[in-house]
Amino acid sequence: MSRKGLFYKTKEEVELIRESSLLVGKALAEVAKVIRPGVTTLSLDKVAYEFIKDNNAVPAFLNYNGFPNSLCISVNAAVVHGIPGKYELREGDIVSVDCGVVKNKFFGDSAYTFAIGEVKAEILHLLKITEESLYKGIEMSVVGKRIGDVANAVQTLAEANGYGVVRELVGHGIGRSLHEDPEVPNYGKQGSGLKFQEGLVIAIEPMINMGTKSVVHESDGWTIVTKDGLPSAHFEHTVAIGKEKADILSSFKEIEEALKQNQNSLTI
């Protein structure tokens, strides 16, 4: 992962990152419309690829350091960076879908973990806490707070629930590059690290494991999985540091609306 330095954005640049980030949310909503037992992860990738292309943007992950697809799709024990393929989703799976786009030279990045059909209550709890930990981190994304405040807020909620916080993978600054400084870990000490100023845009992305925090690389060279084989969840927003309140540039709203429709279509 190349990190090309620390850049503060103008208001106009933040709006361009918002446009890209909202497009990511809409691409994930297209995925949400069709995700269900029996579909392959590669078919979800195709949906996102077509949607991004149709909206005059470029899938940011495609060919990134040689990554072969537009989405990272990580099922169950896979934490992140899963490669879409022939695997057919099953009732009870959880699926992290991570998407990035570049449009007007600016990137957007967001991820959502989907529950496929009926999922065990304890696994749904992992999803709920992981998403909540993201919002705890976002609450800290204001001028005067520090990276360590975001990191600690995520870690505190996850560990209070007995979960493992992945150390090896972190969030990041984002703008003209997918990965800029600073690194945004999901663990750390309050009051430590870079102090936030206006114009900083970061992707916060808790990766929270049901069991051990330890992860290993799969032999495909990309997929990161939990060492103990227990499930892992991942939610991500692109966020601009705000004076009083963080400005969430990506959105889960369209995803959640699409999921409701998807559910209805399954129960008719």
Residues lying near Mg ion in the complex (CB under 5 A) are found at: 98, 109, 111, 203, 236
**102/203 with CB nearer Mg ion:** 203
Separation CA 20–CA 248 (nearest Å): 12
**101/203 with CB nearer Mg ion:** 203
- Shortest spacing between CB 172 and Mg ion, in angstroms: 6
- Shortest spacing between CB 39 and Mg ion, in angstroms: 21
The CA distances from residue 182 to 7, 25, 46, 87, in Å, are: 9, 23, 32, 35
**45/236 with CB nearer Mg ion:** 236
**1/266 with CB nearer Mg ion:** 1
- Shortest spacing between CB 174 and Mg ion, in angstroms: 7
- Shortest spacing between CB 163 and Mg ion, in angstroms: 20
